[in-house]
Amino acid sequence: MTAPSIRNVSEREARQVAEAAREQDWRKPSFAKELFLGRFRLDLIHPHPTPAVDDVRRGEKFLATLRDFCEREIDGARIEREGKIPDETVHGLKELGAFGMKIDAKYGGLGLTQVYYNRALSLVGTASPAIGALLSAHQSIGVPQPLKLFGTKEQKETFLPRCARTDISAFLLTEPDVGSDPARLATLAVPDGTDYLLDGVKLWTTNGVVADLLVVMARVPASEGHKGGITAFVVEADSPGITVEHRNAFMGLRGLENGVTRFHQVRVPAANRIGPEGAGLKIALTTLNTGRLSLPAMCVGSGKWCLKIAREWSAAREQWGRPVAKHEAVGAKISFIAATTFALEAVVDLSSQMADENRNDIRIEAALAKLYGSEMGWLMADELVQIRGGRGYETAPSLAARGERAVPAEQMLRDMRINRIFEGSTEIMHLLIAREAVDAHLSVAGDLIDPDKSLADKGRAAAKAGGFYARWLPKLVAGPGQLPRTYQEFGQLAGHLRYVERTSRKLARSTFYAMSRWQGRMETKQGFLGRIVDIGAELFAMSAACVRAEYLTETGDHGREARQLADVFCRQARIRVEELFGRLWTNTDELDRKVVDGVLDGSYTWLEEGMIDPSGDGPWIADATPGPSRTDNVRRPVR
């Protein structure tokens, strides 16, 4: 059996596949889920959770060793210049145990907590974002994490020791014509005795060029004895029939070992299947619940670096008789970088500690951290380039060649841009989080807007929804955020928490109004849903910033400065929130749709006249027809 190069599915089928992959139940409380429902559960995040003493000791010891290695052995400029991470650097990281940070000690790993794993990524990512991506792809979404959650005892004993010290892993889901719509997945895994035969092509395989082990998502055809569906497999990268056909090059992360991988009749033992057939997407999404935290963790490191450069440069550079930092236009940018870095670190640390404690369901918190971190990280890098002016646009080698400090601000901007696309684009994250945010509504009223449901089903749904909203809506009218002395233990930050409580109820009311207005068309209102999610992200960040500032105040660790940063951040965030609320109902969404229709039907081609398109020839999407490879294998294992 061969796989089609393009698998055509209906919109409904695509939605059903995505829905089936979701975790349907909420067995543990979720701060962010409650926030979207208008319930400000401060008790779920305050007092700020703290790590165990032994975890801190092991984590700090490794961070000190890693910092020393980064300063002595990592040459970020060389990686940028040569477009690859030197083999000796990779070997050094393996010896350090950096590839086994999240792997349990009984399998040869370091067994670090999520908190210290993220802090390590934040640190190493500033030395070289390409190395941060290498380590993150290996541990956050590569073989170790899905095996930790879903692997058998035999799989863990076979593969985890290799991943901890010697082998590099990669995660292969995306295909040339399949991105965030996995229903169209074309790669097949056809049962053959006690094995499966893999056929297909995978695109943007981070670490794929140098990987020893692969997590591959493939579709198993339903047949007698086989449930079928999208399934996860651990695959040896040197298996016959696997060809890395191309090493991709990007505007940033130039040391990234990312490629195109073809599978032709690749034999994979059934023992290498992770979980049951059809569970692949659920495994991938569950893995990402914590895996997504690695990306905002590296954004935290970038923010810290942006702040350092902005501080040093703005004090040294003078214009009109005083340092540029003293000019309000530049000072506002520095304040934004400082306050946002503080808040983003608060979001990542809080989410990571909650992941370690495993008392809360953090699927929304992790997704919000990824969304917020990637967007704010990009803005901070952009502001740094603006603060540096022409020097921000100039490359570090050029600056050095003419005798100035080699500050790679433009590289930072290029490297940070991918974060808005990696592991779920901003647009997809909006939809993913929005689906979880309206889950309570759909669970009680979903049948009302489902066109396939009978009148009897709709009647039962109406009764169920009536009971839910009769209890829920009155609670959105008033709350502790309207009482002047609520949250007084937070001092000057109490007002911001009262604002979060009031605004979470307003957010929930707005969501209900939209559900009532658009009903089944709600899912098409992506502009509205995106703004709802962005408001929730700001409220989550405000909450995390206040809780972190209070924690630092209680521990005597820069408490006064922390409260000042949290205060400024919350004031900036409140301005953004009010703007987003205004745009919920006053926007150009409908007009935009009409313009898009006109663009697609050719009504505005006259507007494209008077330019030259420098693009080359070729198809928009490369042919991914299954079959043997016709190119050389560019796989380059690090030995």
Half-sphere exposure of 216 (CA within 13 A, CB side): 36
The span from the CA of 378 to the CA of 336, in Å, is: 12
Q: Would residue 423 show up in a list of annotated catalytic residues for this protein?
A: yes
Instruction: Output phi, psi for 337, to 5 deg.
Output: -65, -45
Alpha carbon distances (Å) from 456 to 60, 63, 84, 416, 469: 61, 61, 62, 52, 20
* Helix/strand number for the chain, H first, E second: 23, 10
With H, G, I as helix, E, B as strand and everything else as coil, classify residue 617.
coil
The span from the CA of 563 to the CA of 165, in Å, is: 42
DSSP 70-125: HHHH--HHHHHHHTS--HHHHHHHHHHTGGGTTS-GGGTS----HHHHHHHHHHHH
Half-sphere exposure of 380 (CA within 13 A, CB side): 35
Please enumerate in sequence order all residues whose Cβ is within 8 A of that of 177, keeping only pairs 6 or more positions apart, or say none: 5, 6, 184, 186, 621, 624
Task: Spell out a b/e string for 238-255, using b for 16 or more CB atoms within 10 Å of the CB, else e.
Answer: eeeebbbbbbeeeebbbb
Query: Which amino acid is present at 35?
Result: L
The span from the CA of 608 to the CA of 364, in Å, is: 41
Contact 417, 252 (CB under 8 A): yes
Q: Which residues pair with 223 in a beta bridge?
A: 226
Q: Which of 345, 423, 436, 550 is catalytic?
A: 423
The span from the CA of 60 to the CA of 48, in Å, is: 19
DSSP code of 520?
A: G
The span from the CA of 448 to the CA of 454, in Å, is: 9
Query: Which amino acid is present at 439?
Result: D
Lookup: tokens for 380: 């901070």
In this structure, are strands 169-172 and 213-220 parallel, antiparallel, or unpaired? parallel
Could you tell me where the DSSP H helices lie in 492-620? 494-518, 526-555, 559-585, 589-600
Give the residue among 245, 99, 261 at the shortest CA–CA distance from 173: 261
Contact 244, 209 (CB under 8 A): yes
With H, G, I as helix, E, B as strand and everything else as coil, classify residue 203.
strand
Contact 580, 536 (CB under 8 A): no
Give the residue among 253, 205, 185, 180 at the shortest CA–CA distance from 425: 180
Active site residues: 423
